[in-house]
Amino acid sequence: MQKNKIKIYILLGAFILLPIWEILNYYFIPYFIVAFAWLLIVFALFVWLFIEVCQLINERSKLSKQKVVSVCLILVLFLLIFFRPLNKIIEKADWQLFYDKRMEVIRKIKSQELKPNVGWNNWICELPYEYPILSNGGNDIGIYQNDSTNELTVTFWIFRNIFSAPSSHFVYTNTADKIDRINRLIKEHPKHNWKVEENWYRTFHE
């Protein structure tokens, strides 16, 4: 009985800390740590849930209310972390809060004030410290620019995954080929890809 009470308190504490954890993940924790941490937490919660359900079945003849509550809380916590609905809320708020700053970045790229600036890649630009965190994973953005045609595509990461796993992005583009590819993504996977406004898209792909 006492163990179940302790579990419930621990789980309630986890629910309180979850929004803080999601905000830290979204803005501050390096992307390669976020991906591994998510996998580790999901696996640990799944194992814990499996053990608790097995115990629940074995103790079905003398079930306590606290035991049932603790299993339900673990299940809800697992679902919240697995499907990450809080992350979607943060994403929508982030778009509204930092829209002007992202547009400022676009203007500075067009005026050649911001360019790719890392030695290991000719596409990535590390944003100056004067900017808030506009892109997940170190505030890096991706820039493709064709000066002769004035075509520009800028990628801001929402969730930057590891290796070749899909990542989510806010993309600014006026490039016809890129827009066509994004429109195909929207048609095939509208749940994860959509047009935000003129020249701005939300995408999810490798």
Report pLDDT digits (tens) over 19-78: 999 999 888 888 788 888 889 999 999 999 999 999 888 887 777 888 889 999 999 999
pLDDT of residue 1: 60
Is residue 59 a contact partner of residue 67, using CB atoms and an 8 Å limit? yes
* Mean pLDDT over each residue of the chain, to the nearest integer: 92
Q: What percentage of the chain has pLDDT greater than the value 90?
A: 68
Domain boundaries, the chain: 2-83, 98-205
Q: Record the pTM.
A: 0.85
Position 163: which residue type?
F
Beta-carbon contacts of 189 under 8 Å, excluding residues fewer than 6 positions away, are: 204
CA distance linking residue 147 with residue 12, whole number of Å: 55
Count CA atoms closer than 13 A to 153's CA, side-chain side.
17
